[in-house]
Amino acid sequence: MFILGKFRSVMKTEEGEVKVVSGYRWKGDPSPMHIGLVDMEPNTLLVPQYVDANLVIFVRRGHAKMGWICKKGKMAESRLRAGDVTVIPAGSAFYLINDCKDERLQAIASIDSTETLGFTTYQSFFIGGGRDPTSILSGFDPMTIASAFNVTMEELGFMMSQAGGPIIRMHPQPEDANKPNEDDDEDSTTKGSIWQRIFNFILGGSHHRHHGKNSSLKSSHAYNLYDKKPDFRNSYGSSVAVDESEYAPLKHTGISVYFVNLTAGSMMAPHVNPSATEYGIILDQTGEQ
């Protein structure tokens, strides 16, 4: 009753790839669901964009720096780590950086196409670009864009001349770049830093950093499954469930997240989910369903 197709590559460069598999929730349901796999090499950037679909992202491996447009048009930046769940609402511009020195970033995304323009498909709109990817601003005269967003022609030229694809490599980082760097300088000459400044200029918002555990915005932006006490545990495994009651950003997605850990030779008892379609992604080892 629920059949997934084959994975297809929607973004691919030498620095990383985004693959998506699609399927229908239920026989007769016209709205498909999509599952995306994000794989980025160390020291790379997924260029600023927005998608006409809600994204629920789970970080499987590695660390990342994400910038996004939050409430009141302000730009915020937060660090993500393995186990984090975060939500990017449809139409909210964002970028993603793997600034580790030697660790790949792997993430899984649930793509809710009910908010898309065509209802059955979704589309990325790139803010920065040139020949590859094409920027949504490319139809405007460069002088008009520079004047409108109060940026220099040099900064605009960097953004609009992008030809390396949606996932690009940044300049070399310091020797300790594999560790989260809480004191990055916004005026750094790295490509990632230039992207951050231009992104901020274009969207006209204040820039906020969120690093500490007590940051209210950060705590509402990401929820770590690995930090939560299991809802159920015995000698055969454990399970954790997170819904909108614990993580408010899930409210508008209609999605909850369920994490199961089974010991070798054990099984989850048969169960029925009467009001939702459930799909699972195997993170490690093998099993039968």
DSSP state letters, 69-104: E-GGG-EEEEEEETTEEEEE-TT--EEEEE--SS--
Q: What angle do CA 241, 215, 239 make, to 5 degrees?
A: 15
Give the pTM: 0.79
pLDDT the model gives residue 29: 61
Confidence of residue 162 (pLDDT cuts 50, 70, 90): confident
C-alpha closest to that of 203 among 89, 85, 68: 68
3-class SS of residue 149:
helix
pLDDT the model gives residue 215: 37
Task: Give the model confidence (pLDDT) of 221-258 as tens digits.
Answer: 789 999 999 999 999 999 999 999 999 989 888 889 99
Give domain limits for the chain.
8-221
Task: Give the model confidence (pLDDT) of 56-79 as tens digits.
Answer: 999 999 999 888 877 666 777 789
Instruction: Identify the residue with better confidence: 189 or 161.
Output: 161
C-alpha closest to that of 70 among 264, 215, 275: 215
The two structure tokens encoding residue 229: 């006490």
Instruction: Give the type of residue at 213.
Output: K
> Is the pLDDT assigned to residue 196 strictly greater than 60?
no
Confidence of residue 264 (pLDDT cuts 50, 70, 90): very high
> Is the pLDDT assigned to residue 25 strictly greater than 70?
no
pLDDT the model gives residue 114: 64
Tell me: domain 8-221, CATH 1.20.58.760, correct? no
- Average pLDDT of the segment spanning 34-61: 91
Select the highest-mean-pLDDT range: 80-84, 123-127, 215-219: 80-84
Report the range of poorest mean pLDDT among 87-96, 144-153, 240-249.
144-153
Mean pLDDT score of the chain: 78
The two structure tokens encoding residue 228: 């939560």
pLDDT the model gives residue 210: 46
Contact 100, 80 (CB under 8 A): no
